[in-house]
């Protein structure tokens, strides 16, 4: 079972996700990040987007993934509800199919702004299960 933990600091948040697979850990990081922005339980499955990320290494893949989601939110208002990810064997690229909807002021209360995912205090471990930590600038 995938899960996430959020730890708040002054101008940033540490997001830690653990899961049996890398794909599930990446999806949990996204869920945790968007839980800072809106009540994700109020997001409905109304439309879908596909995302492809190619990176030089796994660390870059994680940060690029979250920043691409933030870009989609900031440009199109897209809020994911369900995320299905496939990661290549080398862990340097991913394909994601995200179902959700656009931000609606009448139904979504804005909790906080997440500006950027960074590799500050970045951590990734795989020892039976995946654990990934990133820092989010808020």
Q: Assess whether pLDDT exceeds 90 at residue 11.
A: no
The pLDDT of residue 84: 98
**Domain coordinates of the chain in residue numbers?**
3-137
First to last CA, the chain: 27
pLDDT tens track for 36-75: 999 999 999 999 999 999 999 999 999 999 999 999 999 9
CATH class of 3-137: alpha beta
- Kindly give, in sequence order, each residue whose CB lies less than 8 Å from that of residue 37, ignoring residues fewer than 6 positions away: 73, 79, 110, 111, 112, 113, 114
Sequential DSSP letters for 83-137? EEEEE-TTSSEEEEEEEEEE--TTT--------EEEEEEEEEEESSSEEEEEEEE
């Amino acid at each position: 079972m995938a899960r996430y933990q959020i730890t708040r600091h002054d101008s940033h948040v540490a997001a830690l996700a653990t899961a049996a697979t890398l794909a599930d850990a990446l999806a949990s990081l996204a869920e945790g990040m968007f839980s800072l922005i809106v009540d994700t339980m109020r997001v409905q499955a109304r439309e879908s987007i596909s995302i492809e990320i190619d990176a030089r290494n796994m660390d870059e893949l994680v940060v690029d993934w979250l920043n691409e989601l933030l870009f989609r939110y900031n440009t199109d208002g897209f809020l994911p509800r369900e995320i299905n990810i496939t990661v290549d064997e080398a862990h340097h690229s991913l394909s994601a199919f995200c179902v959700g909807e656009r931000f609606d002021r009448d139904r979504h209360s804005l909790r906080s702004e997440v500006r950027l995912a960074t590799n500050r205090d970045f951590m990734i471990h795989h020892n039976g299960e995946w654990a990934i930590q990133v820092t989010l600038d808020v």
